[in-house]
Amino acid sequence: MVNQSTDVAKFAVKLAMSTREEENELKKSALAQGFKTAAVDIGGKLPDITMKVLERALVASKKNGIIKDVHLHDGAVAGATREALAQIGLKSHGLSAGGKIGIARKGEHLSVAIFMSIGLLHLNDTVIGLGHRSLPDFEK
């Protein structure tokens, strides 16, 4: 049996960890399998960039047709993004961070992954956070 929520999460994580070239290939593969995807770069000092991360996730989701411009969809993306940020927050609080957001949706399942390099001077570490939400598939 196929677990769509797991498959969607895997695509979001792969996108967040990808280079720009890998991202383009992943997007083609995802589209062929019925996924809608987006990825966007982020960076700055956490938690100062929280609003910017939320905005970028929302804009990328709308621009790539993952969600429609409705309150319910905005809330799903914002909630999944906040969940991903919460998972990395303790490790990166107050430090500079740079990375990427990967967003994937198929049917009712939506996942947002955030992959970042954090650090101070030469002491870098990597973190990953993942959020998932379910929302109605209006296209059925």
Place 76 in a pLDDT band, splitting at 50, 70 and 90.
Answer: very high
Is residue 116 helix, strand or coil?
A: strand
Does 13 map to a domain?
yes
pLDDT for 138 equals: 67
Tell me the per-residue pLDDT of 47-59, one tens digit each, with 9 for 90 and over: 899 999 999 999 9
- Locate tokens 């890998």: which residue? 22
> Taking 70 as the threshold, does the pLDDT of residue 2 lie above it?
no
**What tokens appear for 116 in the block?**
């970042």
The set of residues, in sequence order, having a beta carbon less than 8 Å from that of 76 and lying 6+ positions away, is 67, 110, 133, 134, 135
pLDDT higher than 70, residue 12: yes
Is 125 a member of any domain? yes
**Around 53, how many Cα atoms within 13 Å sit in the side-chain half-sphere?**
33
Mean pLDDT over the full length of the chain:
92
User: Does 139 reside within a domain?
Assistant: no
Which structural domain, as residue segments, surrounds residue 98? 4-134
- Are 67 and 78 within 8 A, CB to CB? no
Q: Where residue 140 falls among pLDDT bands split at 50, 70, 90?
A: low
What is the pTM for the complete model shown? 0.93
Q: How far is CA 107 from CA 30, 101, 104, in A?
A: 13, 20, 10
- pLDDT tens per residue across span 77-96: 999 999 999 999 877 878 88
- Domain of residue 115, CATH code: 3.40.1510.10
User: Does residue 103 form part of some domain?
Assistant: yes
pLDDT at 108: 94
In a domain, 90, yes or no: yes
Instruction: Specify the number of domains making up the chain.
Output: 1
Residue 137: band (very low, low, confident or very high) from pLDDT cuts 50, 70, 90: confident
SS3 of 96, please? strand
CA-to-CA dists, residue 97 to 22, 39, 51, 104, angstroms: 21, 17, 14, 22
Q: State the pLDDT at residue 1.
A: 43
Would residue 140 count as lying in a domain?
A: no
Q: For 107-125, how does the pLDDT look when each residue is reduced to its tens digit (9 = 90+)?
A: 999 999 999 999 877 778 8
Largest CA distance in the chain: 50
